[in-house]
Amino acid sequence: MSKKVFEALAWASSFLKEQGRDENAGELLLRHYMNMSRSCLLASLHDVVEEAIWEQFVESVKKHGEGMPVQYMIGYEEFYGRRFSVNQEVLIPRPETEELVYGALDRIKRLFGEEQVQLVDIGTGSGAIAITMKLECPALQVTATDIAEASLEVARKNAEELGAKVEFLQGDLLLPFIESGAKFDVILSNPPYIPLGDEKEMSVVVTKHEPHRALFAGKDGLDLYRRFMNELPQVIKNKALVGFEIGAGQSEAVSGMLRETFPTALVEVVYDINGKDRMVFAEIGF
């Protein structure tokens, strides 16, 4: 039986609500399968959905009901106004991370002016941070690392598709640069920061599908930041900017670590649009 667009959306919304999922996911999926913008879809509410599209749509809505993220089904997520390919080897880029990019761009402009700046993004995943930084500020020299080659494949594809010249390296945190002697003006990272014990409270949309290596970091979620404090002094220039995304409630611990490691640094905690402590920046040697 043929369905109209508005009927398809109503069914998806009702089904996903029953499953405790995001009711708006149906609209994203239908837009994807019908290859329409939001305004186009809304102008086509009384159009009939083709049988083949309806079948795909129903299957995908049910998969999301079981916990599969919509972004992995459609193969992309929007970040900073661009479309990034994603799969189950990378974390789905979040809006909060756009704020890390915005904050870093603002500080780089203020601190370095016209100077040549070498930036590295640690744990790049889909490449969202590194690629966006390069495209928003083409003068930057950008390097990005990830521990997983499978994640780097996704990042390289995104860089190519979006036309960003970024150097990608496989490696564990800052170790590749400690070994090579490379030093940077700017180090950014959105590392794993979720405490292991939080997994049972989290949505299966995240825990059953997104890579655990990109989510969890020890008992208190701070393991990676502790490692950074040992490794950062070996790879930063005399004047440097460090920017981290953090989990809500971790700002005191992470800013304390940075102040201990760099006693003269200006360390700043920044809150996201939801009023949660989400970023910590350290201006070192200025």
Residue 124 annotated in ligand binding: yes
Residue 190 annotated in ligand binding: yes
For tokens 């795909």, name the residue. 56
Who contacts 2 (Cβ-Cβ below 8 Å, separation ≥6)? 48, 49, 51, 54
Residue 176 annotated in ligand binding: no
pTM above 0.85, yes or no: yes
- List alpha helices for 113-199, DSSP H: 128-136, 149-162, 175-180
In tens digits, the chain (286 residues) has pLDDT values of: 679 999 999 999 999 999 988 888 999 999 999 999 999 999 999 999 999 999 999 999 999 998 888 998 999 999 999 999 999 889 889 899 999 999 999 999 999 998 999 999 999 999 999 999 999 999 999 999 998 999 999 999 999 999 999 999 999 999 999 999 999 999 999 986 666 666 666 566 565 655 566 555 567 778 889 899 999 999 999 999 999 999 888 999 999 999 999 999 999 999 998 899 999 999 999 8
What is the fold of 91-284?
Answer: Rossmann fold (3.40.50)
Looking from the CA of 73 toward its CB, the CA atoms found within 13 Å total: 24
Residue 80 annotated in ligand binding: no
Residue 198 annotated in ligand binding: no
Residue 211 annotated in ligand binding: no
Residue 76 annotated in ligand binding: no
Residue 192 annotated in ligand binding: yes
